[in-house]
Amino acid sequence: MIVLKTNRELALMREACIISAGALKLAGEAVEPGVTTAEIDKIAYDYIIKCGAKPNFLNYNGYPATACISINDEVIHGIPSKKRVIEEGDIVSIDLGAVLEGFNGDNAATFAAGAISSEAKRLCDTTKESLFLGIEKAVAGGRIGDIGYAIQHHCESRGYSVVREFVGHGVGHKLHEDPSVPNYGTPGRGVRLLPGMTIAIEPMINLGKADVKTLPDGWTVKTRDGKLSAHFEHTVAITPSGPKILTLL
Ligand code: MF3
Ligand code: CO
C-alpha cells in the first residue's frame, strides 16, 4: 500500500530528512585514512541524538548500528567495526537515516578516502549523476520505470552495471514502504507517480558485473567479482511543482 503524505506531513518529514542529511555530511567529512568505521558510526549516532531524533537503522531487523558503511567492493550494509580501518584510496559508502516524530529520512553517499583512482572517481561521479537523473523523473504523472530507466541508461552507457537484488523504496512513517524503486526499468511502465508520494532513490552501481553476494555476517553485501561499487541515495517527495529532495541540506 502506498501512503500519500499531506503537506503538513511532508514538512515533518523534511525535519527528519534534514537531520539525516546533516548526519551524513558530518560522517562523510570524517572519512580519512586511519579512521575506523566504528568512529564514523559514533559521529553519526551522536549527531542524530543531539538533534533529538533517533537513528532508524539501529535495531531495524536486528541491524546493530546507526550507519551502514561499505568500502570498495562492499555494495551496501557494511557493519561499522573498531577493527575496520579506512585506507588511502578507499571509496566509502555511508548510508544512514533518522526518525523524528514518526517520520523517516534515508540517505547515502560514497566518499573518497584521500586520493582515489580515476576509475573509482568516475564510478562515484556517474552513480551520483544517475541519482539526479532519476530524481528528475520523480514527477506526478510519470511512472516508477521512468526513474529506473534514467539511472540504468546513464550507468550502463558508461560500462557499469546496476545491482538488481536491492532497490529503492517508499519511505515515510516507515523506513521501507511501497513502492519498490528499482534502479532499472522501462519508461512508461510500473506504478504511477502521484503528488504526496515519498520515495528513496538509491542507485547501487558496480564497476564490473552486477552480481552480488551476502557475507556470513548476514548483512554485508559485496560484488561477486570483487570490483568496486558506489551508492548514492536521497529521500524525494513528488509534489505538484516537481521533485523535492527532502535530504538536501
Ligand atoms: N539503508 C538501507 C536503505 O536505504 C536500509 C538499511 S537496512 C538496515 O534502504 F537494516 F541496515 F538498517
Ligand atoms: Co534506502
pLDDT digit string (tens) for 213-242?
Answer: 999 999 999 999 999 999 999 999 999 999
Residue 130's pLDDT is 99
Q: Check pocket membership of 177 for ligand 1, CB cut-off 6 A.
A: no
Residue 109's pLDDT is 99
Which of 59, 175, 178 is the best mutation target for the ligand 1 pocket, counting ligand atoms within 8 Å of the beta carbon and taking the most? Answer: 175
> Residue 183 and residue 163: Cα distance in Å, rounded?
8
With cut-offs at 50, 70 and 90, classify the pLDDT of residue 166.
very high
Q: The dihedral of CA 21, 196, 200, 52: what is its sign?
A: positive
Residue partners of 24: CB distance under 8 A and separation at least 6: 44, 94, 96, 107, 108, 109, 247
Nearest ligand, CA 76:
1
> Residue 140 and residue 241: Cα distance in Å, rounded?
9
Q: The dihedral of CA 138, 139, 140, 143: what is its sign?
A: negative
Residue 153's pLDDT is 98
User: Strands, DSSP E only, in 105-215?
Assistant: 107-112, 161-162, 168-170, 177-181, 198-201, 204-206, 212-214
The mean per-residue pLDDT over the stretch 61-90 comes to 98
Question: Do residues 5 and 199 make contact, with C-beta atoms less than 8 angstroms apart?
Answer: no
Spatial CA neighbour of 165 closest among 107, 223, 216: 223
Q: The dihedral of CA 23, 48, 172, 163: what is its sign?
A: positive
Distances (CA, A) of 214 to 40, 54, 75, 113, 239: 23, 27, 10, 24, 36
What are 73's three cell numbers?
Answer: 567492493
Distance 32 CA to ligand 1 centre (A): 23
Residues of the chain with pLDDT > 90, as a percent, come to: 100
**Whole-model pTM over 0.95:** yes
Residues of the chain with pLDDT > 70, as a percent, come to: 100
The mean per-residue pLDDT over the stretch 17-45 comes to 98
Q: Check pocket membership of 166 for ligand 1, CB cut-off 6 A.
A: no
The mean per-residue pLDDT over the stretch 133-139 comes to 98
| Owner of C-alpha cell 555494495 | 75
Q: Check pocket membership of 47 for ligand 1, CB cut-off 6 A.
A: no
The mean per-residue pLDDT over the stretch 10-39 comes to 98
With cut-offs at 50, 70 and 90, classify the pLDDT of residue 210.
very high
Spatial CA neighbour of 28 closest among 112, 105, 90, 124: 112
What are 146's three cell numbers?
Answer: 521512468
Spatial CA neighbour of 143 closest among 106, 180, 105, 108: 180
How would you label 198-220 residue by residue, b for 16+ Cβ within 10 Å and e otherwise? bbbbbbbbbbbebebeeeeeebb
Q: Residue 175, SS3?
A: coil
| Owner of C-alpha cell 510519470 | 142
Task: Point out the ligand 1 atom lying closest to the alpha carbon of residue 96.
Answer: 1
Average pLDDT of the chain is: 98
Distance 168 CA to ligand 2 centre (A): 6
Distance 219 CA to ligand 1 centre (A): 10
172-189 residue pLDDT tens: 999 999 999 999 999 999
99-128 residue pLDDT tens: 999 999 999 999 999 999 999 999 999 999
